[in-house]
Amino acid sequence: MLLPLETGRLVIRQYRDADAVPLHDVFGSAEVMKWTPSPPSKDLAETAQRLARTMAFTARQPPGLGLWALELRGTGEFLGQVGLFPVEGTGPEVEVAYELAPRAWGRGYATEAARALVDYGFDEIGLPRIVALIVPDNVRSRRVALKCAMTLEGPGRFYGLDLVVYATSRLR
């Protein structure tokens, strides 16, 4: 991906080692992590280890795919993590993901970032289809998927969890 990718209010950029401290507001939050396959980080050291694994994961992805930092344009305030990456790390489908610190919820940031990533995936990478895999009770995330022109396809089992699959295609 040609980073940074900017929207009206946001910047999607490569991670830096120093992001471990603000990322702990995401990875250390039980409120955020209950919607993911991972438990909350116990401490900052564990978040730093997860960040290192995330950066290594992104380095192994095909061009344009990975997980990145999301920040507020202008101030640089760290908001969370977003990405486009192969489902379960191997694909063939590509997933759009967004995990924001609770203080950033309810402001449309996840929708704005996800739309930018979906557009990027179609227009720049040439992906034929993008999915969002969501815990069924995560109403906020389901709304984001709908606002990204995704439609509910039904249940699926991914990452060891029973999820719902939303998808959109290039011909939307």
Evaluate whether residue 141 is within a structural domain. no
How far from each other are the two terminal CA atoms of the chain, in whole angstroms?
Answer: 22
Total number of domains constituting the chain: 1
Asked if the structure places residue 83 within a domain, the reply is yes
Residue 25 lies in a domain: yes
pLDDT digits (tens, 9 = 90+) for 92-121: 999 999 999 999 999 999 999 999 999 999
Examine residue 19 and state whether it is found in any structural domain, yes or no: yes
Q: Report if residue 93 sits inside a domain.
A: yes
Is residue 144 domain-resident? no
For 23, the domain range is 5-127
The predicted-structure confidence for 12-39, as pLDDT tens digits, reads as follows 999 999 999 999 999 999 999 999 989 9
Please report, for the domain that includes residue 82, its CATH number: 3.40.630.30
- Res 85: pLDDT: 95
The answer as to whether 64 is a domain residue is yes
Confidence of residue 172 (pLDDT cuts 50, 70, 90): low
Say if residue 91's pLDDT is above 90: no
In a domain, 132, yes or no: no
